[in-house]
Chains A and B, each alone.
Chain A
């Protein structure tokens, strides 16, 4: 479904990603693990077209989408949840969801509120006044309003209390069960391992390991060197 081949991404002159390749198949939750500053967010941004790669290609459902505008990628079915949340702070929770481009009627506010009942109770609240956990739910809900086939989740548990992290993990698994493929970037390896079936480990802008969860768990060297577990 998602096929990233050998991308190189730059911020201005600094070379951030080196030959990053990864794939996500339909219905799969794939982890992109690594330390702070390893290149996880840049990989996400490259896929979403926010920081287009200079070399390499990104294909979605067999179609080359390298360098396409983000709004077109969203309309093709890629949802993006940034690591710094970025809710539309001035708007209410309802309005945050209302302004999203709706590509599929099957995903509407009722369904999204059904998935995040806590959000339904604070519909009219200004998004900027929500707690971190609520904002995180809102950014995921917002991405879901487009009815995505693939969700790019950039460190969804970052900075959240353990109890809220557990809720979020459950909701992410529900999304997988609803048939949405997910690329999940995480520093919090323990949390990620509960949700993913395969993982890529990234460090200094390069993929250092790829394999199934059991392969990763067996590989003490990778865990120590890149994940500090």
Chain B
């Protein structure tokens, strides 16, 4: 341990852990965005809104179940499913008719949808801040690295992140729907010509992607105040992550989220007032040297 401390002081290690828990949320949300971008070719600006809806749903579900531990677990399952339902309705009712349109049109459409979602959230949940309690098992701190406190809930996030990554990898690489969606990402016409109803494949992929946004929202809810506008910051970060990672590449989303989360948390150590600038600077550096992203894009 002393050797590690000699290289990385405890303060730095602690910040790395803080960055990693942020990375988890960023990864979960942006992997969903990346999946939709890679297979359906939709730059879904409304993805951030679904994340916000996930957080608000988590609040409501948790409250229905009395706000305790049961509420948290119910919210963790229920909110992503609720978001999945909302996204299924949006896909079948709206998006499915617009896949062949150019990207600018899709950008406008999904931006419009994000505004509508934002207003709907305001109507349903109101404008005031909401908070979701951290369940008892995850309350309190562990003391890492010579006594620096680290929230147990963040440890939980660090476990969830890899689980989601592996689950997503299994879905994309080992299931039939995953294989079909990888084929459709490159040549949707030919997938249709071998008897597959591409329209429904797209609906399922879209719902899986949005479910991840909802899961991100439900996971972040106990750590922040749930509020209107939380969609905007996140969608910009998620798009940047997807772009530096490589469009449509799930591992790219992981890498991008790591870069984003770690530069943010370590940047604070370097120059605390301007910590927020570092991830954006990292994005610029990546794009200067790898304009198409770090990993192979499916575009």
B189 with A50: CB separation less than 8 A? yes
Binds B, one of A81-89, A198-206, A218-226: A81-89
Partner of A88, one of B176, B183, B192: B183
Question: Which single residue of chain B is at the shortest CB-CB distance from A69?
Answer: B192
- Smallest Cβ distance from A184 to chain B, in angstroms? 17
Task: With A88-B186, A88-B190, A89-B186 as known contacts, state yes or no: A71 contacts B196, CB within 8 Å.
Answer: yes
Q: How many angstroms between the C-alpha atoms of A112 and B18 in the bound complex?
A: 54
Q: Does A176 touch B at the CB level, under 8 Å?
A: no
A99 with B186: CB separation less than 8 A? no
Tally of B interface residues using CB under 8 Å: 18
User: Within 8 Å CB of A52, what residues of B?
Assistant: none
- Smallest Cβ distance from B130 to chain A, in angstroms? 43
B193 with A99: CB separation less than 8 A? no
User: Within 8 Å CB of B152, what residues of A?
Assistant: none
User: Within 8 Å CB of B176, what residues of A?
Assistant: 98-99
Partner of B194, one of A89, A95, A100: A100
Using an 8 Å CB-CB cutoff, how does the interface string of A134-163 with B read, 1 for contact, 0 for none? 000000001101100000000000000000
Q: Does A166 touch B at the CB level, under 8 Å?
A: no
Kindly name the residue among A50, A69, A71 whose own CB sees the greatest number of chain B CB atoms within 10 A: A71
Using an 8 Å CB-CB cutoff, how does the interface string of B244-286 with A read, 1 for contact, 0 for none? 0000000000000000000000000000000000000000000
B194 with A143: CB separation less than 8 A? yes
Q: How many angstroms between the C-alpha atoms of A145 and B195 in the bound complex?
A: 10
Q: How many angstroms between the C-alpha atoms of A86 and B183 in the bound complex?
A: 10
- Smallest Cβ distance from B197 to chain A, in angstroms? 5
B183 with A91: CB separation less than 8 A? yes
Q: Does A111 touch B at the CB level, under 8 Å?
A: no
Q: How many angstroms between the C-alpha atoms of A71 and B191 in the bound complex?
A: 8
Using an 8 Å CB-CB cutoff, how does the interface string of A60-80 with B read, 1 for contact, 0 for none? 000000000111001100001
User: Within 8 Å CB of B179, what residues of A?
Assistant: 91, 95, 98-99
Q: Does B187 touch A at the CB level, under 8 Å?
A: yes
- Smallest Cβ distance from B187 to chain A, in angstroms? 6
Q: How many angstroms between the C-alpha atoms of A69 and B194 in the bound complex?
A: 11
Interface size class of A (residues with CB under 8 A): 20 to 34
Using an 8 Å CB-CB cutoff, how does the interface string of A39-74 with B read, 1 for contact, 0 for none? 000000000101000000000000000000111001
A101 with B196: CB separation less than 8 A? yes
- Smallest Cβ distance from B267 to chain A, in angstroms? 36
- Smallest Cβ distance from B298 to chain A, in angstroms? 8
User: Within 8 Å CB of B191, what residues of A?
Assistant: 88, 99
- Smallest Cβ distance from B183 to chain A, in angstroms? 4
Q: How many angstroms between the C-alpha atoms of A101 and B195 in the bound complex?
A: 5
Q: Does A167 touch B at the CB level, under 8 Å?
A: no
User: Within 8 Å CB of A99, what residues of B?
Assistant: 176, 179-180, 183, 191, 194, 196
Q: Does B198 touch A at the CB level, under 8 Å?
A: yes
User: Within 8 Å CB of A88, what residues of B?
Assistant: 182-183, 186-187, 190-191
A80 with B193: CB separation less than 8 A? yes
- Smallest Cβ distance from A107 to chain B, in angstroms? 12
- 28 of the cross-chain contacts (CB-CB < 8 Å) are A48-B193, A71-B192, A71-B193, A71-B196, A71-B197, A71-B198, A74-B194, A80-B193, A82-B190, A86-B190, A88-B182, A88-B183, A88-B187, A88-B190, A90-B183, A90-B185, A91-B182, A98-B176, A98-B179, A99-B183, A99-B194, A100-B195, A100-B196, A101-B194, A101-B196, A103-B195, A142-B194, A146-B195
Q: Which residues of B contact A (CB under 8 A)?
A: 176, 179-180, 182-183, 185-187, 189-198
